[in-house]
Amino acid sequence: MNAAEPTGEPAPDAVKNPAVQGRIPDDQIPQTEAEWKKRLTPEQYEITRKKGTERAFTGKYTDTKTPGTYRCICCGEPLFTSGEKFHSGCGWPSFSAPIDKTRNKTVAEHADDSLAGVPGFGVRTEVTCRRCGAHLGHVFDDGPPPTGLRYCINSASIILDEAKK
């Protein structure tokens, strides 16, 4: 089989994903599940396309303090900056605001009632990449000033572009 032909098999690593290098053109955003599976690692696919969640304290960016811009692993869209990142202790990377400092713009918000029947949970607010629809995590109203928000984001849904020194 030609390596360029889509197989529907998961990518063995993120090297096959052009979004790792930067924001990809609109016409290069996958349109089918098979294309997403080919481009993303199994973990990235489960989290971004199937609304999964990585285990707490296991993500690559949970504790990093490296300066830079966090982009969507699916389409490369810039989503958050390291200047808005803080250590919340929740086990996932946390940000007080998206890159544009505006709610429900670059990072879209949706009601998530998937845990509504579980004691101690109610309706949460899911956040996704506005451009490609990738599930990123959730936003909560227990963050630091000035926004009071905590964008709780799966490390597998983002990639860090380190700031140039």
- Domain boundaries in the chain? 14-162
pLDDT of 10 above 70: no
Q: How many helices (H) and strands (E) does the chain have?
A: 2, 9
- In tens, the pLDDT along 99-149 reads 999 888 899 999 887 777 767 677 789 999 999 999 999 999 999 999 999
Residue of 72, 74, 75, 152 with catalytic role: 152
Integer angstrom CA distances of residue 136 from 5, 27, 115: 28, 22, 17
pLDDT-derived band at 2, boundaries 50, 70, 90: very low
Second-level CATH architecture of 14-162: Beta Complex (2.170)
| Confidence (pLDDT) at 69 | 97
| Confidence (pLDDT) at 5 | 36
Q: Answer yes or no: 152 catalytic.
A: yes
- In tens, the pLDDT along 44-91 reads 999 999 999 999 999 999 999 999 999 999 999 999 999 999 999 999
Contacts of 66 (CB under 8 A, 6+ apart): 82, 160, 162, 163
